Structure formats: C-alpha cells, structure tokens
C-alpha cells in the first residue's frame, strides 16, 4: 500500500533535494535546460529562452498540490544553486511501481552527483512511500545514464527496440533497469 507524502526535502552528503521554487527558473535555464547536449536524449527541450523555464517551473509548482508528485530540484550544498532535477515520471499503483528520470548540468557530470541523488530518492520511495519496484530507462546511446542506474544498485532487465523517435528523427532502443525493494 502506497502512503504518498510528496516531494519532501532529502539531504545527502553533498546535496539537498527539495521542491522547486518560483525563483529557480534562472538556474534551470542556465545550468541545464538550455543546453542541447543535456537534452540530447530527453523528450523535451532545449529551452530557447527563460520564459520556457518559467513555464515549466509554474507547471511543476502546480503539480505539488497532488501528494503523489515526486519532483526534486537538486541543489549542491556548496554552491547553493539548483543544478538539475530528479523525478518520478510514471506511476503504477496496481503493482506499486514507478519510473524515475533525471538530468543535471554538463558542468557537474561525472562527479557521482546523480548516483548520490538516485540512491537517496530510491530509498525514500521504497521505505517512506512503499513502492515495491523502481524502473529507469535510457537510450542505448547514452550509457552514462545506465552507469548511474548500475551504481545505484539497479539491475539490467531488457532492451526495448525502436521504443521511440529522437528529435533528430532517428528511432532509438532503450535499456531498462529495475530495482525491487529489499533486493540485494
Ligand atoms: C546521465 C547523467 C544524469 C549522469 O549524471 P552524473 O552525475 O554525471 O552521473 P555519475 O557521475 O553519478 O555517474 C556517471 C557515470 O557514467 C560514466 N560515463 C560517463 N560518460 C560515459 C560514456 N560515454 N560511456 C560510458 N560511461 C560513461 C562515468 O564514468 C560514471 O561512471 P563511473 O563512476 O563508474 O566512472 C548526466 O550525464 C545527465 O544529466 N545527462 C543529460 C540528461 C540525461 O541523459 N538524463 C538521463 C536520461 S535517461
């Protein structure tokens, strides 16, 4: 049984994961959402101007009125500004499963930040909310994302071929990773 508590603040060694705030639009735009390289394998973006980031934040803030919204801003403690996001993208109450998505600005890649965020979020979703299964997927051309899933303890499950169309028109295959609650 799921006990929704929403996007509560989570602290890790280097990070604060918290709800987005209206004033985060500038960080969102400059730190990650305007960068085509960050958005290369994502279903959205890049944002062309700050109004797109403001619109996105407005939508996120509205979504917080639902207690089953899990959408965190990732704040580096020593920099104080928002460098990315991690969220539950898809929820399935029938089997208490959910799918997580994430991104951070290029300047912050390869420092173990997303692995730290994903581990903390998975722990919260399993042990505070009651999810039994957490899934994440990545484009096969984006192995860094798969590496994050592996380092966070998820297991490779399957490859789904031709699952969607990238913005450049090419079709892509994705790798699926899964972690079950209390699984080693
Ligand atoms: C994918 C992403 C979230 C990773 O975040 P991160 O904070 O850099 O991740 P971590 O530092 O925790 O781990 C990255 C791992 O990928 C590895 N890696 C980086 N580039 C790689 C590549 N081209 N091939 C294989 N592994 C790669 C790193 O070496 C590291 O593994 P290691 O610790 O074993 O050395 C980040 O690059 C990002 O936001 N990308 C754009 C958005 C995106 O693709 N989101 C995921 C959509 S599914």
- Read off the pLDDT of residues 4-46 as tens digits, 9 standing for 90 and up: 999 999 999 999 999 999 999 999 999 999 999 999 999 898 9
pLDDT of 168 over the 90 cut: no
The count of domains in the chain is 1
The reply to whether ligand 1 has any atom less than 6 angstroms from the CB of 144 is: yes
Specify if 130 maps to a domain. Answer: yes
102: CATH? 3.40.630.30
Distance CA 61, CA 19 (A): 8
Residue 58 CA: distances (Å) to CA of 23, 63, 74: 10, 9, 17
Beta bridge partners of 176: 137, 158
Specify if 4 maps to a domain. Answer: no
Distance 148 CA to ligand 1 centre (A): 6
Specify if 1 maps to a domain. Answer: no
Specify if 3 maps to a domain. Answer: no
Domain carrying residue 109 = 10-180
Specify if 153 maps to a domain. Answer: yes
Reported as a pLDDT band with limits 50, 70 and 90, residue 182 is confident
pLDDT of 184 over the 80 cut: no
The reply to whether ligand 1 has any atom less than 6 angstroms from the CB of 138 is: yes
Specify if 88 maps to a domain. Answer: yes
């Amino acid at each position: 049984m799921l006990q929704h508590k929403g996007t509560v603040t989570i602290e890790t060694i280097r990070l604060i994961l918290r709800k987005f705030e209206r004033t985060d639009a500038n960080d969102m735009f400059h730190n990650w959402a305007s960068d085509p390289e960050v958005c290369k394998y994502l279903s959205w973006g890049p944002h062309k101007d700050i109004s797109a980031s403001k619109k996105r934040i407005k939508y996120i803030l509205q979504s917080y009125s639902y207690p089953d919204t899990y959408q965190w801003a990732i704040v580096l403690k020593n920099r104080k500004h928002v460098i990315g996001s991690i969220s539950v993208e898809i929820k399935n109450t029938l089997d208490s499963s959910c799918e997580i998505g994430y991104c951070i600005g290029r300047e912050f890649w390869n420092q173990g930040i997303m692995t730290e965020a994903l581990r903390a979020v998975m722990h919260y979703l399993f042990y505070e909310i009651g999810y039994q299964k957490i899934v994440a997927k990545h484009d096969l051309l984006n192995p860094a994302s798969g590496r994050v899933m592996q380092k966070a303890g998820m297991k490779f499950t399957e490859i789904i071929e031709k699952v969607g169309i990238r913005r450049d028109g090419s079709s892509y295959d994705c790798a699926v990773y899964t972690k079950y609650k209390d699984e080693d």
